[in-house]
Structure 1
Amino acid sequence: MSEIFTLHQAKTEHLEMIEVLLKETALWLKAKGSLQWNGILEGKDNHNTASAIDRGEVFYGTLDNELVGMFILWEHQSEWDAALWGTDQGNDFYYLHRLNIKREKAGMGIPQMMINAAKDYAEKKQKRALRLDCIAENEFLNRMYRNENFELVDCKEDFNAGEQINDFNLYQYQLK
């Protein structure tokens, strides 16, 4: 039987499902010794997920109707994005954030399916590129983004991420 991946735009009624997935991922990161996303465990929502859902910026993926992951795709820069990338005066980019999958679905190619869905969505919306950032020392994520044809644009050193100070790699996938 072939499994079918589907991307969905989250609605208000999906908020709890999205928050549970984010918390599960934050717990997994913490168990691995990472401070990344620790704010979620403290009840902080730096991405204001409920408002992002209202704006149509939160997406989740299903495989045969079962939740497998989610991401946020911002059309307008957040303060975080502007601090990393510099202020974007245009409307040419989407900024990909909080890409994560259900841990029991690891090893099934779900992140790649999610990334490809984000690329397709951004292309349909006629964006010039898809941008993201990740911790520079996270070899797995950096390799994954390079394998998905994202180009390393810059590295911001000693950037204060709130939970910790890290170096962040900035990646861009050119659409047009």
Structure 2
Amino acid sequence: MQIEQAKPTEAATVAAVLNEAAQWIAAEGRPLWSAADIAPERIQRDTDAGSYFIARKTGEMDGEVAGVVRLDLEDAHFWPEIESGTSLYVHKLAVRRAWAGHGVPALLLDFARERARSLGRPFLRLDCVADRAPLRALYERNGFVLHSVIHKGERAFARFELPVARLAD
């Protein structure tokens, strides 16, 4: 699997993966992202900013997109108390259904960990709706520890963090 920063011209590809995941989750009776969260103009803006990364299969099926993730340098909405420059934040991790069960989330999270390390950020942080037990278990299997649960409006969100060893100077 190869993971690279999405090019601005790949915003539609990113949006397609996010929409596929959103539709699957909604069909399961667990809607997650709002239409505004994955609106084409928002995806384009974030892709233009270099925030999205695409996981692609290498080898016989070169270039097939398996998943995407957005990595942000700041997250004042869910982590307002965290000092600027100390963390990398994982958002919008999504896997195409055809790649479910192939370890793509773990690969994307490993990539995010290495990216945080290379940026000199000592923590990788993320959040999810607090009642998503399978998602929380996925994060815990990948080394994340529950930091806290916060409330935003009517919903509770679990905040997870992972200490990232810094590169040797």
2:138 maps to 1:144: yes
Distance 2:17 2:7 in 1: 15
Name the structure 2 match of 1:173: 162
Name the structure 2 match of 1:30: 26
TM-score where L is the length of structure 1: 0.84
Question: In the TM superposition, what is the alpha-carbon distance from 1:63 to its structure 2 partner?
Answer: 1.6
Question: In the TM superposition, what is the alpha-carbon distance from 1:90 to its structure 2 partner?
Answer: 2.1
Q: 1:70 is aligned with what amino acid?
A: V
Name the structure 1 match of 2:70: 72
Which runs of structure 2 are paired with 1:103-114 in the superposition (5 Å)? 103-114=97-108
Name the structure 2 match of 1:102: 96
Distance 1:144 1:89 in 2: 26
% same residue: 24
Residue-by-residue CA offset, 1:20-47 (whole Å, 9 max, x unaligned): 1111111111101122113259x746x9
2:128 partner SS = strand
Question: In the TM superposition, what is the alpha-carbon distance from 1:151 to its structure 2 partner?
Answer: 1.1
8 Å CA contact retained: 1:29, 1:37:
no
Question: In the TM superposition, what is the alpha-carbon distance from 1:88 to its structure 2 partner?
Answer: 3.5
Name the structure 2 match of 1:120: 114
Which runs of structure 2 are paired with 1:74-93 in the superposition (5 Å)? 74-77=72-75, 82-93=76-87
8 Å CA contact retained: 1:7, 1:60:
yes
Name the structure 1 match of 2:57: 63
Distance 1:48 1:87 in 2: 25
Q: Which residue, out of 6, 12, 15, partners 2:11?
A: 15
TM-score where L is the length of structure 2: 0.88
Unaligned runs of 5+ in 2: none
Query: How many residues were matched structurally?
Result: 161
Question: In the TM superposition, what is the alpha-carbon distance from 1:87 to its structure 2 partner?
Answer: 4.1
Unaligned runs of 5+ in 1: none
8 Å CA contact retained: 1:30, 1:38:
no
Question: In the TM superposition, what is the alpha-carbon distance from 1:76 to its structure 2 partner?
Answer: 2.3
8 Å CA contact retained: 2:129, 2:158:
yes
Distance 2:7 2:39 in 1: 21
2:77 partner SS = helix
8 Å CA contact retained: 2:126, 2:161:
yes
8 Å CA contact retained: 2:36, 2:42:
no
Computed over aligned residues only, the root mean square deviation of the Cα atoms, in angstroms, reads 1.9
Q: 2:7 is aligned with what amino acid?
A: K
